[in-house]
Amino acid sequence: MGDQAGSVNLRTAITQFLSETRGLTLTIDNILITRGAQMAIFMAARMIIRPGSTVLVGSPNYFMADAIFRQFGATLVRVPMDENGMDVGFIEEFCKSRIPDLLYIIPHHHHPTTVTLSAERRMRLLQLIDQHRFPVIEDDYDYDFHYAGGPILPLASAAHGGNVIYIGSLTKSIAPPIRVGYLIAPANFIEQAAQLRRMIDIRGDSLLEEALAFLFKQGDMQKHLKRSVKLYHQRRDILCRLLEQELGDIVSFTKPQGGLALWTKFREDYPLTVIAAQAARNGLVINDGRMYDVDDQRFNALRIGFASMNEKELEEAVSILKRTIRSINA
């Protein structure tokens, strides 16, 4: 594969890191470096999906993944979500009549709802994967940011017969402009994916990849992640406190065990489409939540990120949001 799969040094460093932090058993032949997790999702889906393929996704789900699957001609089947993650019972019933061509799942800090798939459901899902042999894309974009106890190991860390394709990212660990992700899969899948990557992007950013490999080798990346987790934990708690104090009668959320955002639901009599438009005029840019709506489900909810804002900025953002809401219903 040469360097088509990415820097050997970075692949080696990530292989060791994933083995230590996630319990994955792999070699550098099982890893492909991509320009962010989004590219990894695109490539894995391109290799699996054909027009008419059936893809199981959450309801709601990461909207950019939905867009990719539709682009390749897939039919999306929505799996209900609750506080314990995807409804694996739904998947089990579905498999009695038809085996899906792909399952896309975010077990840790699901996007957008932030919930984590329970250990019991993980075990049952692994049994279904083993029984029916359907391929799975496990999107684990922010596994490293966990605040409540130890994170549950990925599906890919268990025996899955090569059916789980594991996707992660370093972008959230460093900065949005650093577009580096990775795709973990059996060696033959990676070899084919490397050829596909070459058609999309002849060569990755070799200098950046070598620099990241050096950070891992020196231990600087691991130290940075530990500091980041502590900081983001504090910012999560600050945002939760502010929303409860200032908007507790209007919004609801469950404090996430990890991740970088809150899934925040607004009362039905406070439509986000109106709030977002007015907030923009007041100097606060937020999305209106419609990107998360699916079919006939309207959540009137959005993800509020906290990682990039310090305490003062969080206070200012909530203050603007509060003033905006009060002015609308004054």
3-state DSSP of 74-124 = CEEEEEEEECCEECHHHHHHHHHHCCCCEEEECCCCCCCCCCCCCHHHHHH
Q: How many whole angstroms separate alpha carbon 42 and alpha carbon 27?
A: 23
Asked whether the predicted pLDDT for residue 87 surpasses 50, the reply is yes
Asked whether the predicted pLDDT for residue 1 surpasses 60, the reply is no
Q: Which pLDDT value is given to residue 148? A: 80
Q: At what angle do helices 36-48 and 63-71 cross, to 10 degrees?
A: 30
- DSSP H helices in the chain: 8-22, 36-48, 63-71, 88-97, 119-132, 187-200, 206-218, 220-247, 272-281, 311-328
* 248-267 confidence digits (pLDDT tens): 999 999 999 999 999 999 99
Asked whether the predicted pLDDT for residue 12 surpasses 90, the reply is yes
Q: Which pLDDT value is given to residue 330? A: 56
Q: What is the average pLDDT score of the chain? A: 94
* 134-148 confidence digits (pLDDT tens): 999 999 998 999 998
Residue with tokens 């250990």: 119
Cis? peptide before 177, omega within 30° of 0: no
CA 95 to chain centre: 25
* 54-85 confidence digits (pLDDT tens): 999 999 999 999 999 999 999 999 999 999 99
Q: Which pLDDT value is given to residue 3? A: 74
The pTM of the full predicted model, rounded to 2 decimals, is 0.94
Domains of the chain: 8-218 (3.40.640.10), 222-328 (3.90.1150.10)
